[in-house]
Amino acid sequence: HWKVLFDQFDPGNTGYISTGKFRNLLESHSSKLDPHKREVLLALADSHADGQICYQDFVNLMSNKRSNSFRQAILQGNRRLCSKALLEEKGLNLSQRLIRHVAYETLPREIDRKWYYDSYTCCPPPWFMVTVTLLEVAFFLYNGVSLGQFVLQVTHPRYLKNSLVYHPQLRAQAWRYLTYIFMHAGIEHLGLNVVLQLLVGVPLEMVHGATRIGLVYVAGVAAGSLAVSVADMTAPVVGSSGGVYALVSAHLANIVMNWSGMKCQFKLLRMAVALICMSMEFGRAVWLRFHPSAYPPCPHPSFVAHLGGVAVGITLGVVVLRNYEQRLQDQSLWWIFVAMYTVFVLFAVFWNIFAYTLLDLKLPPPPW
């Protein structure tokens, strides 16, 4: 479809069309385009210094595939746009106001906010964060009923016998490095994690998609358990704090790095509240770790998973959030952080295979 349309403006089959012809093409199809998207495309046409657009750029533009060159061109072309901001638009229904609110919560550039506002269709919906949250709540309720305890479940003598918990004696069971997120220390632990991943994770998934946000979340979860296996070798791990802290720290870092562009209301106050909540949860985890254990000699769950999540958030997470609809494989910083993460995972794997034996570490017995 796009090739036929492109060839109409490229009779010589050169692979290029002039920006003037591209503008004519947009004008002839203006009734089919959202007004904000049309502004973006016209800004791109104006920004091409050589006056030509190649076929691949044309396809990327018309099919919403945005490259790094697209971003640079838009940032130049955006200087020529004088249309009103999304916040000034009136007569929006409830769903349109929600989409606009999400755009201002997560995106620092007005041109990106307009593009998202026109492109978002809620298909698919933000299913990943909702599904993970429902599973965490379901497992917590099941354990609460079976143990007869909902507050500080982790102090129950049978708590660690669950096959989802990461335990240092059972570290060869690889699924435990991920499934520990479905076990929480108590309702106070679960409550804060659920609130943070819904308030922060769902809007981020609406903007960046389940694949990217799921990648950051799972990377934070895996980094959390691996960090514990390296830095707190005798402790078990429970809770989704590794994934939650990866998302929240990435979002907060993105706000700080784009402070002037972020237009969310009361951003300083909200950042302060988020940091206080994260600090309180981290403090609770530290206190619990060194509190006398209910199942000696095994200590209570480690707090190091929180730090692993933060490390993922301020590296991989920030690159994802700073590149809205850009191809990550075009970003050199993305590959640098992927390489760093891969090195860490490989190091942790070899550490788990050899270090426990070489250090002659006395581990707590299996929770049978």
pLDDT per residue as tens digits for the range 6-60: 777 788 888 777 777 777 777 776 666 666 666 666 666 655 556 677 777 677 6
Indicate the burial class of 255 (C-beta count within 10 angstroms; 0-12, 13-18, 19 or more): buried
Query: Which of the residues are catalytic?
Result: 241, 306
Distance CA 47, CA 349 (A): 49
Q: Do 82 and 113 touch, CB atoms closer than 8 A? A: no
Helix (H) or strand (E) holding 114: helix 110-119
What is the set of domains in the chain, with CATH numbers? 1-78 (1.10.238.10), 82-120 (no CATH), 127-359 (1.20.1540.10)
Q: Do 306 and 245 touch, CB atoms closer than 8 A? A: yes
Mean pLDDT of 325-343: 87
Mean pLDDT of 236-252: 95
CA dihedral for 295, 178, 276, 279, sign (positive or negative): positive
Mean pLDDT in the chain?
84
> Per mean pLDDT, which range of 9-18, 231-240, 337-346 is the poorest?
9-18
**pLDDT computed for residue 88 by the predictor:** 74
Q: Do 313 and 247 touch, CB atoms closer than 8 A? A: yes
**pLDDT at position 140 over 90:** yes
- Give the whole-number percent of the chain exceeding pLDDT 70: 85
Helices (H), 197-266: 202-231, 241-257
* DSSP one-letter code for 82: -
Among 297, 277, 273, CA closest to 285: 277
In the three-class reduction of DSSP (H, G, I as helix; E, B as strand; rest coil), residue 66 is classed as strand
**pLDDT computed for residue 158 by the predictor:** 87
Looking at per-residue pLDDT, the higher value among 54 and 338 belongs to 338
Most confidently modeled range among 39-53, 115-129, 271-285:
271-285
| pLDDT single digits (tens) 95-118 | 888 898 898 888 888 777 877 887
Distance CA 64, CA 283 (A): 44
**pLDDT at position 368 over 90:** no
CA dihedral for 269, 271, 274, 280, sign (positive or negative): negative
**CA-CA distances (angstroms) from residue 330 to 28, 149, 257, 323?**
32, 50, 20, 10
What is the distance, to the nearest Å, from the Cα of residue 94 to the centroid of all Cα atoms in its chain?
25
**pLDDT at position 250 over 90:** yes
**pLDDT computed for residue 41 by the predictor:** 64
**How many beta carbons lie within 10 A of that of residue 93, not counting itself?**
7
